[in-house]
C-alpha cells in the first residue's frame, strides 16, 4: 500500500532572490516525493523563508512565523521550519522566543531540507545555521510560482560590497557567480515551460562573473541567453553603478531581446552621503553614467532606489537629493526611510536622523516622482509598444492587464488593455491611449 506523501506549505517573504530560493526548495522537495499545497492549514510541514533586510521585514517575518506556528495546534502541521536571512541573523533568539520552530536553517543550507524531513540528517538538532554551506548546483527542478510567462533567474549569490546600511554580505557572504552554462540551461528549461520573460537578479548583477575571472561575464551571459528560443524579454535588475560599463550599455542596446530597462540603485547623490554610506561612486560619476546610458540606449527606462534619513543627512543633503531627482527625471523610483540595522556599520554611527524626518523626506521625494511619472506617461500617449499580456485584473476580474518593456514585474506600473482578447503570455503591439500617475491605458494595435 502506497504511503500518502506529506504536504508541504511554503511562505516566501522578501525579495525576488529569496523567492528563487523558495522555488528551488519546493522543486527539490517535490522530486523527493513531497506534495506542495498553497493552503498552510492543510500542510504537514510549513516552511517560512524569511527576510531580515529591514526592521519592517523582520517584523513581518516574525509575525508570519507566529501565524504559521498556530497551525501546529489548529491545523495538521507537524513540523515548522524557518529558513532565510532572519534565521541567519538571529537564530538563538528565534529558537528561544518561538519554541514551535522545529528546524532553523540559514541562507546556505537549503539543500539540507529534504534530508531533515526524512530524518537522515541530524533531525533532532534544531539550529543548523552554522553547519557547512550547501548550495543548489542547478535549478532544474525549480517550482516556478510566478505567472507562467515570467520568471526570476538568480545569477549569483552573496555580495562583496561594503555598504554601511546593508547586512546582506554578512548573511550571504561574498559574491559567488553561477556558471554561464548553468544559467543558460535553466533559461532553456523555463522557456520550455512557457516563460517568455527572464528577469536576472542577484545582489550585484553588474559584478557577475568577476569572481570567476570573467570581466565580460554579464555581457557573455546576455549574448548566450539571447540565443534561447522562446525567451523574448531579458531584464536586468540590481545593476550597481560602479561597474556599469559603456561596453555593457552597448550590449543592452544591441541585443534585441534585452529590454531597454536598467535598474541601478543609487541610494543617494550628495558626495558626503555617498562616502558616509561607504558607496564607491561619486555624484560626478553617477551623472556621467546616466548621460552615457541615455546616449547609448535611446529611450532607456531608468529605475533607481534612494535612502532618506540616513545618519548624517542634513536638510542640505536631502534638498540636493530632491533637486537631483527632479532634474534627472527617472522613470521609476523607490525610496526607503533609513532603518537602523544591528550588525551594519551605520548602526554605530552617532549622527542619527529622527525616523519621522526620514519618513517625511521619503514622502516628499515620492510626491515629486509621481508628478514626473505622470508627465512622462502623458508624453507616451499615441506611442506604440509591445505589451506582455498578463491576464484579467485579479481584483475586479474585468480589466485585462499587461506590461510594457519599461515596466518591471511587481515594482513598476502596468498597462490597462482595452478591447483585448489576447491570451496571458502573448506579446502584442499596443497603442497607448491614456495615462495615470503610474499606469497606462492602451488598445491592441491593428496589424492587418
pLDDT on residue 2? 46
Pick from 39, 93, 49: nearest CA to 71: 39
Total Cβ atoms within 10 A of residue 62: 20
Q: Could you tell me the CA-to-CA distances from 410 to 274, 386, 392 in Å, in that order?
A: 28, 18, 16
Is there a contact between 308 and 320 (Cβ–Cβ < 8 Å)? no
User: What pLDDT tens digit does each residue of the chain (448 aa) get?
Assistant: 346 778 999 999 988 999 999 999 999 999 888 999 988 989 999 999 998 877 888 889 999 999 999 998 887 889 999 998 888 888 888 999 999 999 999 888 888 888 888 776 656 788 888 887 777 777 778 889 999 999 999 999 988 889 999 888 888 889 999 999 999 999 999 999 999 999 999 999 999 999 999 989 999 999 999 999 999 999 999 999 988 999 999 999 999 999 999 999 999 999 999 999 999 999 999 999 999 999 999 999 999 999 999 999 999 999 999 999 999 999 999 999 999 988 899 999 999 999 999 999 999 999 999 999 999 999 999 999 999 999 987 776 778 999 999 999 989 999 999 988 899 999 999 999 999 988 999 999 875 5
pLDDT on residue 448? 52
pLDDT on residue 123? 63
The C-alpha atoms of residue 437 and residue 332 are separated, in whole angstroms, by 11
pLDDT on residue 324? 98
Is there a contact between 55 and 18 (Cβ–Cβ < 8 Å)? no
pLDDT on residue 1? 38
Give the angle subtended at the CA of 312 by the CAs of 170 and 282, to the nearest 5°: 75
The C-alpha atoms of residue 1 and residue 328 are separated, in whole angstroms, by 67
Is there a contact between 82 and 109 (Cβ–Cβ < 8 Å)? no
Pick from 169, 168, 164, 167: nearest CA to 352: 164
Q: Which three cell numbers stand for residue 75?
A: 491545523
Q: Is 441 helix (H, G, I), strand (E, B) or coil?
A: strand
What residues does 82 pair with on adjacent strands?
48, 104
Residue 367 makes CB contacts below 8 A (sequence gap 6+) with none
pLDDT on residue 134? 79
Q: Is 431 helix (H, G, I), strand (E, B) or coil?
A: strand
pLDDT on residue 210? 92
All structural domains of the chain, each given as residue ranges with its CATH number in brackets, are 7-117 (3.40.50.12160), 150-380 (3.80.30.20), 384-444 (2.40.50.140)
Q: Which three cell numbers stand for residue 411?
A: 515594482
The owner of cell 532603518 is 339
Is there a contact between 140 and 182 (Cβ–Cβ < 8 Å)? no
Is there a contact between 294 and 262 (Cβ–Cβ < 8 Å)? no
Amino acid at each position: 500500500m502506497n504511503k500518502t506523501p506529506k504536504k508541504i506549505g511554503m511562505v516566501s517573504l522578501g525579495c525576488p532572490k529569496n523567492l528563487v530560493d523558495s522555488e528551488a526548495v519546493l522543486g527539490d522537495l517535490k522530486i523527493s516525493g513531497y506534495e506542495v499545497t498553497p493552503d498552510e492549514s492543510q500542510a504537514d510541514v510549513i516552511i517560512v523563508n524569511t527576510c531580515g533586510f529591514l526592521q519592517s521585514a523582520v517584523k513581518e517575518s516574525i509575525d508570519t512565523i507566529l501565524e504559521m506556528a498556530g497551525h501546529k495546534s489548529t491545523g495538521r502541521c507537524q513540523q515548522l521550519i524557518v529558513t532565510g536571512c532572519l534565521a541567519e541573523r538571529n537564530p538563538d533568539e528565534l529558537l528561544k522566543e518561538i519554541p514551535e520552530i522545529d528546524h532553523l536553517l540559514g541562507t546556505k543550507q537549503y539543500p539540507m531540507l529534504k534530508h531533515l524531513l526524512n530524518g537522515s540528517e541530524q533531525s533532532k538538532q534544531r539550529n543548523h545555521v552554522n553547519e557547512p554551506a550547501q548550495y543548489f548546483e542547478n535549478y532544474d527542478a525549480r517550482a516556478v510560482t510566478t505567472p507562467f510567462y515570467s520568471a526570476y533567474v538568480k545569477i549569483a549569490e552573496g555580495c562583496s560590497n561594503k555598504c554601511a546600511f546593508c547586512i546582506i554580505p554578512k548573511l550571504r557572504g561574498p559574491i559567488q557567480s553561477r556558471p554561464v552554462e548553468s544559467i543558460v540551461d535553466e533559461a532553456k528549461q523555463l522557456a520550455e515551460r512557457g516563460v517568455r520573460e527572464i528577469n536576472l537578479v542577484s545582489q550585484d548583477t553588474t559584478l557577475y562573473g568577476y569572481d570567476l575571472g570573467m570581466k565580460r561575464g554579464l555581457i557573455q551571459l546576455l549574448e548566450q541567453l539571447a540565443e534561447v528560443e522562446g525567451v523574448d524579454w531579458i531584464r536586468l535588475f540590481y545593476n550597481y553603478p560602479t561597474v556599469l560599463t559603456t561596453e555593457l550599455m552597448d550590449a543592452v542596446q544591441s541585443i534585441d531581446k534585452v529590454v531597454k530597462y536598467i535598474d541601478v540603485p543609487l541610494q543617494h547623490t550628495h558626495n558626503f552621503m555617498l562616502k558616509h554610506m561607504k558607496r564607491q561612486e561619486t555624484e560626478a560619476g553617477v551623472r556621467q553614467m546616466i548621460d552615457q546610458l541615455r546616449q547609448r540606449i535611446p529611450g532607456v527606462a531608468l529605475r533607481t532606489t534612494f535612502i532618506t534619513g540616513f545618519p548624517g543627512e542634513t536638510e542640505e543633503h536631502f534638498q540636493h537629493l530632491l533637486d537631483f531627482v527632479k532634474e534627472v527625471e527617472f522613470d521609476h523610483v523607490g525610496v526607503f526611510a533609513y532603518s537602523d540595522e544591528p550588525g551594519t556599520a551605520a548602526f554605530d554611527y552617532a549622527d542619527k536622523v529622527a525616523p519621522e524626518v526620514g519618513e517625511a523626506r521619503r514622502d516628499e521625494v515620492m510626491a515629486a516622482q509621481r508628478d514626473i511619472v505622470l508627465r512622462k506617461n502623458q508624453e507616451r500617449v499615441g506611442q506604440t509598444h509591445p505589451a506582455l499580456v498578463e491576464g484579467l485584473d485579479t481584483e475586479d476580474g474585468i480589466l485585462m492587464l499587461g506590461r510594457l518593456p519599461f515596466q518591471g514585474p511587481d515594482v513598476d506600473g502596468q498597462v490597462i488593455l482595452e478591447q483585448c482578447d489576447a491570451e496571458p503570455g502573448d506579446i502584442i503591439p499596443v497603442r497607448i491611449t491614456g495615462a495615470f500617475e503610474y499606469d497606462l491605458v492602451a488598445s491592441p494595435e491593428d496589424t492587418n
